[in-house]
Chains A and B, each alone.
Chain A
Amino acid sequence: AQRVTQPEKLLSVFKGAPVELKCNYSYSGSPELFWYVQYSRQRLQLLLRHISRESIKGFTADLNKGETSFHLKKPFAQEEDSAMYYCALVVGWGKFQFGAGTQVVVTP
C-alpha cells in the first residue's frame, strides 16, 4: 500500500535550535518525494524535491531508501519557519500522496 507517515503533528522548537521533521513512506516503485509548506494565511507551496538535492531556506532532505524515509532538516530554526509542513509522494500520473502534516512552531 502507498502511504506517507508524518508521526509528529506538532513540533515546537526554540529559535536557533535544529529542527527535524520526520517522513516515512511505503511505496513499491522508485519513490519521488517532495516537501510542501503552508505558511499562515498562504497557499500550499513547494519547499523542495528530492531529485534536485537542493537546499531551500536552509532546509535539506535526504532520501533514504533503506529506511524508506525523507526527513526534513534545518540546523538553525528561524521564527519565519513556523508553518505547516507536508511530505508528499508521487504515486502516479498527477497523483501525490500527502502525509497528515507537521505543524512547526518556532519560539524566540
Chain B
Amino acid sequence: DTGVSQDPRHKITKRGQNVTFRCDPISEHNRLYWYRQTLGQGPEFLTYFQNEAQLEKSRLLSDRFSAERPKGSFSTLEIQRTEQGDSAMYLCASSLGSGERGELFFGEGSRLTVL
C-alpha cells in the first residue's frame, strides 16, 4: 500500500467547466476527508465520510461542490461551474478509528487552477 493517492495531481480548467477529483484512501481506513488549501493558508476542512456516509460538510462546500464515496472505498469530489476562487490544492486524507484521535494520512493533493 503506497498510501493515499489522488488523481489528477494537476488540473487546469476554464471558468464554468466542471472538474472531478478522485481519492483512493489507505485500504483499511474507514474515514475519508477532503480539505482545501489556498496559498499561505493551512488546510481547511470541507467534508468527511465514515464508510459511505457523508457525516459532515463545511459551509465552505457550496452547492457547486459534491462529494461521494459510493462503496466506502474511493471518493470523488466534483466542482461544477468552476470559478477562479476555486483555485486551490484539494487534499484528501484518510484515517482509521472510531474516535477523534485518529491520525490523518494525507495524499499529495490535486492542484486546481481555474483560468
Q: Which positions in A face B, CB cutoff 8 Å?
A: 4, 9, 32, 36, 43-46, 49, 51, 86, 88, 90, 92-101
Q: How far is the CA of A43 from the CA of B44 in the complex (A)?
A: 16
Q: Determine whether the beta carbon of B42 is less than 8 Å from that of A98.
A: yes
Once A93-B56, A97-B45 are accepted as A-B contacts, the answer to whether A43 and B40 lie under 8 Å apart by CB is no
Q: How far is the CA of A36 from the CA of B56 in the complex (A)?
A: 22
Please tell me which one of the listed residues B3, B4, B42, B108 contacts residue A101 in the complex, with CB atoms under 8 A apart: B42
Pair count A-B, CB < 8 A:
59
Q: How far is the CA of A93 from the CA of B4 in the complex (A)?
A: 20
Once A32-B101, A51-B101 are accepted as A-B contacts, the answer to whether A100 and B45 lie under 8 Å apart by CB is no
In the complex, what's the smallest C-beta–C-beta distance from A63 to chain B, in angstroms? 14
Q: Determine whether the beta carbon of A94 is less than 8 Å from that of B33.
A: yes
Q: Determine whether the beta carbon of B55 is less than 8 Å from that of A44.
A: no
CB pairs A–B below 8 angstroms (5 shown): A93-B56, A96-B43, A97-B45, A100-B40, A101-B41
Q: Which residues of B contact A96 (CB under 8 A)?
A: 43, 45, 104
Q: How far is the CA of A104 from the CA of B107 in the complex (A)?
A: 22
Chain B, 35-66, contact with A by CB distance < 8 Å: what is the 0/1 string?
Answer: 00000111111001010000110000000000
Once A43-B108, A90-B100 are accepted as A-B contacts, the answer to whether A95 and B45 lie under 8 Å apart by CB is yes
Q: Which residues of B contact A36 (CB under 8 A)?
A: 104
Q: Which residues of B contact A43 (CB under 8 A)?
A: 3-4, 106-109
Once A92-B56, A94-B56 are accepted as A-B contacts, the answer to whether A45 and B106 lie under 8 Å apart by CB is yes
B112 close to chain A: CB less than 8 A:
no
In the complex, what's the smallest C-beta–C-beta distance from A40 to chain B, in angstroms? 13
B79 close to chain A: CB less than 8 A:
no
Q: Which residues of B contact A97 (CB under 8 A)?
A: 45
Q: Determine whether the beta carbon of B48 is less than 8 Å from that of A95.
A: yes
